[in-house]
Amino acid sequence: MSDIEREEACAAPVVPASLSDEVAGYQWARDMVGESGSSVYRLHGRAGAPDLFLKHGRDGFAEDISDEMARLRWLAGYIPVPALKHFMRTPDQAWLLMTAMPGKSAYQLLEANPEARPAIIDAAAAFLRRLHAIPLSECPFNGDHAYRLGRARKRIDAALVDVDDFDDEREGWTAEQVWEAMHGLLPLTPDPVVTHGDFSLDNLLIHEGRVVGCIDVGRVGIADRYQDLAIIWNCLGEFGAPLQERLFRQYGIADPDQRKLQFHLMLDEFF
């Protein structure tokens, strides 16, 4: 997907009065990549002002944006993330205005620069080790598989799971089939760390050869390290097994736990 295809120019949406001054004078582009259910906009072109991002969501997606706001505030003390500019919440809507971070996503760079792929993987693995080294005692958020299983069950029962978006290995499966297969992999020995929760190539930003931060942090919480490893490992499948293997080596795992990988990939199908 080219940079042009990743976003689409659009008119400025209606925003709360408290946001009007901060977004005045910007050109707007809507993000076409994310699957969060919220609307995401890039604000650019205001003379002498930095680019910004605005997320807007209704109902359950407003709750997701509120979760992201709280995690942004906390995570900023440990790793680079977008700076919070403004947050507005009503009973059924939420708006989150953040600074844009420099660089491009790891996915964009892997796609555009094949010769740089090993260095990109090394940088991603180093950043993930840094995230996972945050002391558990300092993290106030839970994201373990028991918590996420509860949320997944609610999404299944509410018919919110997009079965057409399942990975190729589960194409044609029902949500209940994935649920049953996933439970067949339990129990798992926990290995808790502070996780991103959606550590995909699109959520990792790289500038001048180094990771400068991560975005979409609404699922940050204490969980098994394979919550993050499984997602980025799966993303790398598009670029070949050698890069997947390099990721684990650089992270520090010689023999990946295939059971945990498969469990967390199936769990992610529900979100």
Q: Which long-range contacts (CB under 8 A, 24 or more apart) does 156-163 make?
A: 156/270, 161/269, 161/270
The full set of domain ranges for the chain reads 7-99, 104-268
- Does the domain at 104-268 match CATH 3.40.50.2000? Answer given as no
CATH assignment of 7-99?
3.30.200.20
Helices (H), the chain: 17-23, 60-75, 106-112, 117-132, 145-157, 175-183, 226-236, 241-251, 258-268
67, 198, 257, 268: the catalytic one is: 198
The whole-number pLDDT of residue 34 equals: 59
Q: Known catalytic residue: 202?
A: no
Q: Among 192, 70, 84, which residue's Cα sits nearest to residue 134?
A: 192
Site of tokens 């598989």? 145
The whole-number pLDDT of residue 2 equals: 46
Dump pLDDT digits (tens) for 182-232.
999 999 999 999 999 999 999 999 999 899 999 999 999 999 999 999 999
For residues 33 and 52, the answer to whether their CB atoms sit within 8 Å is no
Dump pLDDT digits (tens) for 158-189.
999 999 999 999 999 999 999 999 999 999 99
Phi-psi label, residue 208: left if phi above 0, alpha if psi -120 to 50, beta otherwise: left
Name the DSSP class of 119: H
- The reply to whether the predicted model has a pTM over 0.85 is yes
Beta bridge partner(s), residue 20: none
Q: Is the peptide bond before 187 cis (omega within 30 degrees of 0)?
A: yes
Q: Compute the C-alpha angle 146/147/150, nearest 5°.
A: 90
**Chain center to CA of 180:** 25
**Chain center to CA of 50:** 23
